[in-house]
Structure 1
Amino acid sequence: MSESSEHPVISTAHVRTDRPARYAKQLVSHMSRKVPGVWDADTGKGTIEFADGSVLAALTDRGDSLDIELTATADSVERFEGVVGRHLVRFGSRDELVCTWTRSDDSPGTEQRFTADAD
């Protein structure tokens, strides 16, 4: 493993919505069918653990947004930005959610927007 992939990269997304708790709960519920995930409605916080705990998504209801902090390796951060972001914007398609990621290592983050597939 290269040095850059051993150090964690923190990628954050600030997703504007007037229903952050609803989307966080839905995201955690969906993901926790395959990986560990918890959502605490009282605190407005939750987590989803991927890759046997080596990748963590921390979710926070900010009232007017859902903040996500993803901790992953440089080699996996793009993949997990996509996994979390694609699911979230699909759940929030009616509200046209946009999930734009900013990374701590100054590499470009990804962006997910809902696009309806043509039938």
Structure 2
Amino acid sequence: MKRYTLLDNGSKWTEVTRGVRRKLIHTENLMMVIVEFNNGPATIPDPFHSHHHEQVSYVAEGELILFIEGVGKQQLKKGEMFAIPSGLPHTIQTLTPVVRIIDSFYPIRKEFLQ
């Protein structure tokens, strides 16, 4: 594995589901993912999910509601951030036509590389 990447021109957008795509870069242990939702605003939240990865996220564009099981919900807009500990169920609901989030995961989400 290369020790560094200055510019990742090889990273391409991958369609996750209709209206949702992602692009990523990673090292051995850390992953950054740009997730773009072009299917909003959503009438209901996405299903809850959890993972063993720690996650910190930055809202780069749009507005959303973050739902964290057992904690509550919080409306977030461009420029705001949130953190999700390992194993905590969470989801979002987009409030604007386009939402772009920059997620960082530790350790990397190996399933995103397939």
TM-score, length-normalised on structure 1?
A: 0.34
TM-score, length-normalised on structure 2?
A: 0.35
Higher relative helix content: 1
